[in-house]
A = this chain, B = another copy of it.
Amino acid sequence: MKATVNIGLLGLGNVGTGVLNILTHNADLLCRRTGKKLMVRKILVKDLSKQRGLKMPGIHLTDRADDILDDADIHIVVEAMGGEFPAYDYIKKALKNKKFVVTANKEVVSKHKKEFFELAKKNKVDIYFEASVGGGIPLIRSLKVGYAANKIQTLYGILNGTSNYILTQIEEKQEEFDDALNDAKKMGFAEADPTMDISGLDTAYKLTILAAVAFKMDITVNDLSYEGIQDISLKDIVYAKELGYRIKLLAIAHLLDKEEINFRIHPTMILLDHPLAAVRNELNAVFLVGDAVGESMLSGKGAGASPTGSAIVSDIIDIAFDTKIGRFYDTQGKAHVSIEGVDDPLYINKRNLEDELHQPSLVNICDIYSQFYLRLAISDSPGALARITTVFGENEVSISKILQKNTVGLDAEVVVITYHTKEEYLRKSVQVLTTLSVVKHVYSVIHVGF
């Protein structure tokens, strides 16, 4: 007889259904791979009376979370609800009750990871969150083990499928931001309220999780600067392409000298032949440079029921792999004999737990050097350009290129590409530029990277 792993699922929306489908559809395969039956026993739903048309023999639906969290026979709690509350409380209770937790919830992991990790360690269980960043891409576990021989020097991520879809559509359909956003909503790649995605906040949550895994650093979204894609226009994307670049919303972690590090999120113009430039539509990717492995990239679908479900089930598999060695405990702290377990007080799962997160020495984005693209409207008059270049010069910003684009009435549209300069200097220049009478408008300021 095969041992079983009993799963309690919190939430049966898009993600929960995805998990259930994979566990049902690939049950035989998963049993062969893990040597165990992975069984969903209970599901927390909001409305018990709702008709769901799901094939779920032997699964108990409940609208009380404690039916799952207090059930000594549930080994793994899968949190598939999203949002900070009540997910936070449920995860805490599950860990306290010595259940392994799997979650796809970037917000709750980002905000409470340290507490979760400590609670898991104390209770000799784990919290897994592969699905919280990069959907189905095996990113978290690659950073935890696959790349773990390396000091990661740089990490660039396209981590928000909605933003990447919109940017791709603007370029490919030559449409404006609002139209692309509407397309994304119609295609199911953007929510009715897309603020969290397009503002960069979603990406910021994810970068804090990668900071914990790749750099063992404990940061929150308040420790990094983030900027979204709201102000990117078709024109910028067209001009970028003329200059040999494509605009992507990048999460960036860059290790500097003396163990200082900078985390930031902003639209970035990247060279067209860079592998990240080829990551289209809703796909996500992480490109990293390790001191041993060199450049490496992982890509795939960053969202959706199936890819997210794939990541969640991979976490369940990871937990199931270890059940023979006594890693399941009931609420009294005794090992479940049904899982062939033995109580092992020495067990600390260094494989997964980030139990030694430290506070990094953060460098503010203002002190980072980048190239910049600026698009301005200036008065089409003699001397206007000289005024502008003087402002840059006075603020220690060197200019690589100035391109006069269109002339509309008395205004000229000008694109400026700077050399590497401190962000602080660039910001100061822009501040001064906006006060000049010859500058009608600063439309956009975009980072230019590799």
* Interchain residue pairs with CB less than 8 A apart (25): A18-B292, A22-B292, A30-B148, A34-B350, A35-B350, A136-B292, A136-B294, A138-B147, A142-B142, A145-B318, A146-B314, A149-B313, A290-B310, A292-B307, A293-B301, A293-B307, A294-B307, A295-B300, A296-B298, A297-B297, A297-B300, A321-B351, A324-B347, A340-B346, A344-B344
- The chain B residue with its CB closest to the CB of A358 is B32
Known contacts A35-B348, A142-B146, A151-B26; A299 and B325 CB within 8 A of each other? no
Q: Which residue of B141, B301, B317, B350 is within 8 Å of A141 (Cβ)?
A: B141
B149 and A22 within 8 A (CB): yes
Q: A275-B299, A296-B298 are in contact. List 19 more A-B contacts (CB 8 A).
A: A18-B292, A26-B291, A30-B149, A33-B148, A145-B318, A145-B321, A149-B311, A150-B310, A273-B278, A275-B278, A292-B310, A293-B306, A293-B311, A297-B298, A298-B299, A321-B351, A324-B348, A325-B325, A326-B346
B301 and A151 within 8 A (CB): no
B149 and A138 within 8 A (CB): no
Set of chain B residues within 8 Å of A107, measured between Cβ atoms? none
A309, CB-defined interface residue at 8 Å: yes
CB distance from A208 to the nearest CB of B (A): 19
A137, CB-defined interface residue at 8 Å: yes
A149 and B297 within 8 A (CB): no
CB distance from A438 to the nearest CB of B (A): 43
